[in-house]
Amino acid sequence: SRPMEQWKTVRIIYLKKVTKQQQVISDNDIRPLSLFSCIAKLLNSTIKLRIDAHLEMNGLLSPDTHGFRNRHGTNHNLVTLTSTILSNKIKNIPTQAIFIDISSAFNRVQIHKLKTIMDDLNFPSYISAWVHKFFIGKLYTDGVHYQRCNSGLDQGSTLSPALFNIYTSQLSQGLSNVTFTTFADDMALYAQDHEHAAVTEILQEQFNLLQDKLQGLNLPINYTKTCVIDFSKKLRNQQHTKYIKEKVKKDITALQYLKGTNWGNHPNEQMILYKMVIRPKIEYGTAACLWARRSYAISLQKQQNQALSYLQPHQGQPGSSSSGALNNKSPPL
Give the pLDDT score at 326. Answer: 39
Give the pLDDT score at 312. Answer: 67
Note the pLDDT tens digit of each residue in 134-165: 999 888 888 888 988 888 998 878 899 999 99
Give the pLDDT score at 176. Answer: 92
Q: What is the pTM of this model?
A: 0.79
Give the pLDDT score at 317. Answer: 46
Compute the radius of gyration of the chain from its Cα atoms.
Answer: 24
Give me the tens of pLDDT residue by residue for the chain, a chain 333 residues long.
Answer: 455 778 888 888 888 777 655 565 666 677 778 888 888 889 999 999 999 999 999 999 999 999 888 888 888 888 888 888 888 888 889 899 999 999 889 989 999 999 999 999 999 999 999 999 999 988 888 888 898 888 899 887 889 999 999 999 999 999 999 999 999 889 999 999 888 899 999 999 999 999 999 999 999 999 999 999 988 766 777 888 888 889 899 888 888 877 765 555 677 778 888 888 888 888 876 777 776 678 888 888 898 888 888 776 554 444 433 333 334 444 445
| Terminal C-alpha separation, the chain | 54
Give the pLDDT score at 81. Answer: 87
- ∠271-276-282 over CA atoms, to 5°? 100
Distance, C-alpha 217 to centroid of its chain? 21
Give the pLDDT score at 203. Answer: 94
